[in-house]
Chains A and B, each alone.
Chain A
Amino acid sequence: MSFVLNKVRRAMYLDSVALMRLSRAIADIDGVEEAALMMGTPANHEIMSDAGLMAAEGRTAGGGDLVIAIRATGETVAEAALKDAEAQLEAPTAKSEDAQAWQARTLRSAVAAMPGANLALISVPGDFAAAEARKAIRRGLDAMIFSDNVSLDDEAALKREAANLGRLVMGPDCGTAIIAGTPLAFANVVPTGDIGIVGASGTGIQEISCLIAQSGGGISHAIGVGGRDLKSEVGGISTLMALDALRNDPATRHIVVVAKPPGADVTAKVLSRLADAGKPATLCLMGAEPLDLPSNVTQVYSLRDAAFGALGLDAPMATAPSEPAREGEILGLYSGGTLAAEAQVILLGQGDSLRSNAAIPGVSNEDGTGHLILDLGDDVYTRGRPHPMIDPGVRDTPLIEALSRTDIAVILLDVVIGYGAHDDPAQHLAQIIAEHRTDASPHLITSVTGTEADRQVRSSQLNRLVQAGVHVAPSNAEAVYWARALVT
């Protein structure tokens, strides 16, 4: 037998929507069959009567009175529900916890909400990235595409359309840029200065800009163009536009270009554009042969030399640690692809035999012999996992295995910090090393690509690594030279 309980709150008005929500909450209580909180208007009297909710007290309510009407399985349940309803009526209206700021769902409405938008930073899955970039350039925005897995055909078509529209496309697979003092995606906090960088490689731009910063220099802009921009199919469209932009930029005094060696046709275009720029320029094509250059261009072969060349300084060479040299090979476990390439360039230049999963010209694949330089950012290691710069755990397995190897003389590492990177990669490395290192383990050498102004703070990272027994070189190039010095 149901029990009907009414309570009338005289001269209490609440909006009907608020009351309907409250009614539903009360009706949901276990044992409550039906509940209504309504103003006592004639229409509402009828509704509550029809719902079997009216008792004597409710019938006394006038239009300005609030009726709380409950039908429940028993008196106790009804009383408890009434108490609950009254408590909720008294409770201050809390701002809903899920009240959130509105977020645009499309580029179109984001642009509408922010007039003057000038850059789209795109990191959606590769299948969709070109389409989003196309929307951006058609609306007058430049685009930076962090996403990879965009087809080469799509990249070429997109960049041709962009060039026609006068828009710059950085990427696809552009990990790093610094535009007008703003680091984008994986970049470091570096001082503003007069050196402009155009780079087909993210970590290349990071290493060069950080070495420039460490030596007191600064960056005007660093424009990433993506790893395939200089391929003949694309023809260096973005690189050439970026060079034009830096030529016209009064803040840029010196231009640095860093990339893998392009085909002859594209190399010629880049050199001709550098000559047109009329500003002193440093060209670093990782693994390239010496080229015939315009008079304003200097060719260098490592990231370190690119940085110091742009600064107009001789590159220093830090003294290698005084450790006993050891028999065996160097194993490079790199998170930064261009840092791995730089290691290969230097070792190759020293006449060593070596192999790599990301071999530069003259280096054999992994089946060869000699030092082994692994790029752990390669697809083989990152399929279904974040990049090792984001998740240093990608390096754990090969590192732990290497720490037990006696045929390896030196384990060569890199640590890259800054925006986008892991919060504390040094701590992660230190922990693995502490757990797995023995007296028989190979030497450990690394460098830290970053600056004091980065969130992770370069000196803190460095100190943590030194405490863990890792030798930390001032640059990746010096780390490679040190490694060679510790191999007999």
Chain B
Amino acid sequence: MELIETANAETVKRMLTGDPVLIDVIPAHEAIPTLEPGMILHAGPPITWDRMCGPMRGAIQGIAVLEGWAGDLNDADAKAAAGDFAFHPNHHFDAVGPMTGMTTVSQPMLVVENRAFGNRAYCAINEGLGKVMRFGGNDTEVLDRLRWLRDDFGPSLGKAIRHLGGLPLKNIIARGLTMGDEMHQRNVACSGLTLRALAPALAETSDNTTELSKALAFIASNDQFFLNIAMAMGKSITDPARGIKGSSIVTAMSRNGTDFGVLVSGTSDQWFTAPVEMPDGLYFPGYSEADANPDMGDSAIVETIGLGGFAMGAAPAVAGFVGAGAASEAGHFTRRMGEITTDENPEWTIPAMDYLGVPTGIDIRHVVETGLAPTINTGIAHREPGIGQVGAGVVRAPMGCFRDALTAFAGTLGVA
């Protein structure tokens, strides 16, 4: 259908011409004026408390205590069950969050502005590895770190970014791809490049060398620091591509630990969901598949713009996570994703694949036709709340939501 091809070309053009710039860090209630106390934004498609997985509940308990809405975790649990909190997907508020993806009024949010279209997208700051809220962690150590991010690190980072006049991100991604990052499971290079760019500004705007040192050490010690920036970037790039009639291009993929959800440009804000699958991956010592929580997080937004599992060819070291594949086959993942996408990104290329551009523009027609599900690189959370990350791996998007999306999409064009 000519209409679809034209609509898809427009959708992908909007994605490829996005110009994302990290411009600030501000509290969530400033970033999202409609966000009110008692509202908790979470990863994935909409979900009610009774269907939430363990880590999601654990994170909600923790964030409620942090915000002062509950006296302790048990109190928070009771209040959540009693319906005291309003749950909404981040995606409905221009935001994204990794794993559990908690966003509440006081959280410091990275602000990425897409200067080509003027829209903004938000994501909380990456907490680091180990016991963290995004994996459902909620003990004192977790909450104290979040308080520090809110009260000290976030404001300092915002000041430094403003001092810089913003940090353009497209170029950092382009260089990161040449340095072995795919921006989902591996952000070592991009985190380093970001630190290099931010360090002088952080120093320039700091009047406390102890805090400065702590801030620099926090970024330097977290290989995944850049992930949340990449996610806000992904959201800022895909939002202008939403709601184009006749477009069969995916504008978001997201998981809440129970359901996998997909948004398609031509069907606007309608979520198509299917039960999430279990990641196939490698586990930290002492843990196994039996401990793993099903797939979770808004982070698949990076796959939606051609990174993560789609850019595996740039990151052979990550390919080992699959368990079965050889590093030399990393490029196969990228080529396979080329089967379900309409375009290559001419600016984000993979040197080892003869500068092939990352596959961009997931076409639900191609997904259903080939039976090739989008491949997502992911961290694996423990199924019990409060324990944290137990491994990392690869997960496939469930085909059911793409079949449902195709049926509904056809309906928008009067085809049945």
> Is B317 on the interface with A (CB-CB < 8 A)?
yes
The 7 A-B pairs with the shortest beta carbon distances in the complex, nearest first, are A51-B286, A96-B326, A36-B285, A17-B320, A20-B282, A51-B285, A109-B339
Chain B residues with CB under 8 Å of A405's CB are none
For A46, the closest partner residue in chain B by CB is B130
Tell me if B286 and A47 are in contact (CB < 8 A): yes
Closest to A35 in B: B285
The reply to whether A96 and B328 contact each other, CB–CB distance below 8 Å, is yes
B285 touches A17 (CB 8 A): no
Let me know if A106 and B370 touch, CB within 8 A.
yes
A108 at the interface (CB under 8 A from B): yes
- Considering only residues 324-343 of chain B, those with a C-beta below 8 Å from chain A are 324-326, 328-329, 331-332, 335-336, 338-339
How distant is the Cα of A24 from the Cα of B288 in the complex, in angstroms? 10
For the A-B complex with A17-B282, A104-B339 known, give 10 more contacts whose Cβ atoms are closer than 8 Å.
A17-B320, A18-B320, A21-B282, A50-B286, A51-B287, A98-B324, A102-B331, A105-B372, A106-B366, A106-B370
- List which B297-342 residues lie within 8 A (CB) of chain A: 317-318, 320-321, 323-326, 328-329, 331-332, 335-336, 338-339
Whether B328 pairs with A17 at a CB distance below 8 angstroms is no
Residue in chain B with minimal CB distance to A96: B326
Within 8 A of B (CB), among A53-105: 53, 69, 95-96, 98-100, 102, 104-105
Q: Is the CB of A112 within 8 A of B338?
A: yes
Tell me, yes or no, whether A188 is within 8 Å of chain B by CB. Answer: no
Closest Cβ of chain B: how far from A180's Cβ, in Å?
Answer: 29
User: Hey, which chain B residues are within 8 Å of A461, CB to CB?
Assistant: none
Judged by a CB distance under 8 angstroms, whether A15 is at the interface is yes
Q: Decide yes or no: A17 and B318 within 8 Å by CB, A23-B285, A24-B282, A24-B283 being known contacts.
A: yes
- Measured between beta carbons, the chain B residues less than 8 angstroms from A112 are 338
Residues of B within 8 A of A99 (CB): 326, 328-329
Q: Is A21's CB under 8 angstroms from B339's CB? A: no
- Determine if B286 and A43 form an interchain contact, defined as CB atoms under 8 angstroms apart: no
What are 21 of the A-B contact pairs (CB < 8 Å)? A17-B320, A17-B321, A20-B321, A21-B282, A23-B285, A24-B283, A24-B323, A34-B285, A36-B284, A38-B285, A47-B286, A53-B286, A95-B326, A95-B328, A96-B329, A100-B329, A105-B336, A105-B372, A106-B369, A109-B335, A109-B338
Output the residue of A35, A43, A105 with the most chain B CB within 10 A.
A105
| Cβ contact within 8 Å between B284 and A47 | yes
CA distance A43 to B370 in the complex (A): 42
Query: Hey, which chain A residues are within 8 Å of B329, CB to CB?
Result: 96, 98-100
Chain A contacts with B in 274-333, Cβ cutoff 8 A? none
B-binding residues in A (CB < 8 A): 15, 17-18, 20-21, 23-24, 27, 34-36, 38, 43, 46-48, 50-53, 69, 95-96, 98-100, 102, 104-106, 108-109, 112
Q: Are A43 and B372 in contact (CB under 8 A)?
A: no
Please measure, in the bound complex, the distance between the C-alpha atom of A102 and the C-alpha atom of B332, giving whole angstroms.
6
Residues on A with beta carbons closer than 8 Å to the beta carbon of B285: 23, 27, 34-36, 38, 47-48, 51, 53, 69
Q: How far is the CB of B319 from chain A (nearest CB, A)?
A: 8
Tally of A-B Cβ pairs under 8 angstroms:
77
Complex: chain A residue closest to B369, CB-CB: A106
Chain B residues with CB under 8 Å of A100's CB are 329
Interface residues, chain B, CB within 8 Å of chain A?
129-130, 282-287, 317-318, 320-321, 323-326, 328-329, 331-332, 335-336, 338-339, 366, 369-370, 372
- Complex CA–CA separation, A448 to B336 (angstroms): 45
**Closest Cβ–Cβ distance, residue B282 to chain A (whole Å):** 4
Q: Given A24-B282, A24-B283, does the pair A43, B130 have CB atoms closer than 8 Å? A: yes
A434–B335 Cα gap in the complex (Å)?
54
Name the A residues within 8 Å of B130 (CB-CB): 43, 46
Given contacts A96-B326, A98-B326, contact A34 B336 (CB under 8 A): no
Distance from B322 Cβ to chain A, minimum over Cβ atoms (Å): 10
Chain A residues in 8 Å Cβ range of B284: 20, 36, 47, 51
Residue of B with least CB distance to A98: B326
- A38 to B130 Cα, complex, angstroms: 15
How distant is the Cα of A234 from the Cα of B195 in the complex, in angstroms?
69
What residues of chain B lie closer than 8 Å to A69, measured between beta carbons?
285
**Which residue from chain B places its CB closest to the CB of A21 in the assembled complex?**
B320
Given contacts A17-B320, A24-B283, A36-B285, contact A108 B326 (CB under 8 A): no
B323: contacting residue among A21, A27, A50, A52, CB under 8 A: A21
CA distance A322 to B329 in the complex (A): 65
* Residue of A whose beta carbon sits closest to that of B321: A17
- Which B residues touch A98, using CB under 8 A? 324, 326, 329
- Distance, CA A38 to CA B321, complexed state (A): 16
Complex-state Cα separation, A34 to B320, whole angstroms: 20
Point out which of B130, B323, B326 has the most chain A C-beta atoms below 10 A from its C-beta.
B326
A481 to B27, CA, bound (A): 97
Known: A96-B328, A99-B328. A105 touches B286 (CB 8 A): no
* CA gap between A24 and B282 in the complex, in Å: 8
- Pick the residue among A27, A95, A102 that contacts B335 (CB under 8 A): A102
CB distance from B45 to the nearest CB of A (A): 28
A127 to chain B, nearest CB (A): 15
Residues of chain A within 8 A of B369, CB atoms compared? 106
* Chain B residues whose C-beta falls within 8 Å of the C-beta of A108 in the assembled complex: 339, 366
Which residues from B are CB-within-8-Å of A17? 282, 317-318, 320-321
The answer for the CA separation of A437 and B286 in the assembled complex, in Å, is 72
A52 and B286 within 8 A (CB): yes
A104 to B339, alpha carbons, bound, how many Å? 8
Tell me the smallest distance from the CB of A138 to a CB of chain B, in Å: 11
Question: Closest Cβ of chain A: how far from B327's Cβ, in Å?
Answer: 8
Knowing A17-B318, A18-B320, A95-B326 touch, does A105 contact B370 (C-beta < 8 A)?
yes
B331: chain A residues within 8 A (beta carbon)? 102
Complex alpha-carbon distance, A50 and B323, angstroms: 24
* Chain A residue contacts of B328, Cβ below 8 A: 95-96, 99
Q: Which residues of A contact B317 (CB under 8 A)?
A: 15, 17
Complex Cα–Cα for A46 and B285 (A):
11
| A43 adjacent to B282 (CB under 8 Å) | no
In-complex Cβ contact of A34 among B282, B286, B321, B323 (8 A)? B286
Residues on A with beta carbons closer than 8 Å to the beta carbon of B323: 21, 24
A96 to B325, CA, bound (A): 8
Who on chain B is nearest to A17 by CB? B320
Contacts of B338 in A (CB 8 A): 109, 112
* A residues near B326, Cβ cutoff 8 Å: 95-96, 98-99
Query: In chain B, what residue has the closest Cβ to A95?
Result: B328
Most chain A Cβ neighbours within 10 Å, of B130, B286, B332 = B286
